[in-house]
Structure 1
Amino acid sequence: MSTYWAILERAPGSKLRLTKLDDEIYESFKTEFPDFDPAATIDEDEMKSKAGKEKWRNWMKQYEEKVADYNFGTLLRANPKFEYGEKETIFVVRMQFYAIEIARFVISQEHEVMAETNLIL
Structure 2
Amino acid sequence: MAQPFDADNADNLEDIEKQFAVKAVAQAETYWGLLEKIPGSKLKLTKHDDDIVEQVLEAFPEFKEPKNVALINEGEMKSVSGKAKWRAFCEKFNEIEDYNFGTLLRSSVSDYYTQEGTIFVVRIQFYAIELLRNKYGLNDWIVQK
Query: Same fold by TM-score, threshold 0.5 exceeded?
Result: yes
Q: Which consecutive residues of structure 1, in runs of 5 or more, have no partner in the other structure?
A: 112-121
| Secondary structure of 2:108's aligned partner | coil
RMSD of aligned C-alpha atoms?
1.5
| Secondary structure of 1:35's aligned partner | helix
* Cα separation, 2, equivalents of 1:49 and 1:3: 29
* Cα separation, 1, equivalents of 2:49 and 2:106: 19
Q: Tell me which stretches of 4 or more aligned residues in structure 1 moved more than 2 Å.
A: none
Aligned to 1:80: 109
- 2:38 equivalent to 1:11: yes
Instruction: Please report how far the alpha carbon of residue 6 of structure 1 lies from its aligned counterpart in structure 2 after TM superposition.
Output: 2.1
Instruction: Please report how far the alpha carbon of residue 31 of structure 1 lies from its aligned counterpart in structure 2 after TM superposition.
Output: 1.0
Normalised TM-score (structure 2): 0.70
Aligned to 1:61: 91
Q: Within 5 Å, which residues of 2 pair with 1:1-121? A: 1-36=28-63, 37-39=68-70, 41-64=71-94, 66-108=95-137
Aligned to 1:119: none
Aligned residues: 108
| Secondary structure of 2:103's aligned partner | strand
Q: Which consecutive residues of structure 2, in runs of 5 or more, have no partner in the other structure?
A: 1-27, 141-145
* Cα separation, 1, equivalents of 2:105 and 2:59: 20
Instruction: Please report how far the alpha carbon of residue 2 of structure 1 lies from its aligned counterpart in structure 2 after TM superposition.
Output: 2.6
Deviations 1:6-59 (A, max 9, x none): 2112211232111000011001101110113212x2110010001100100011
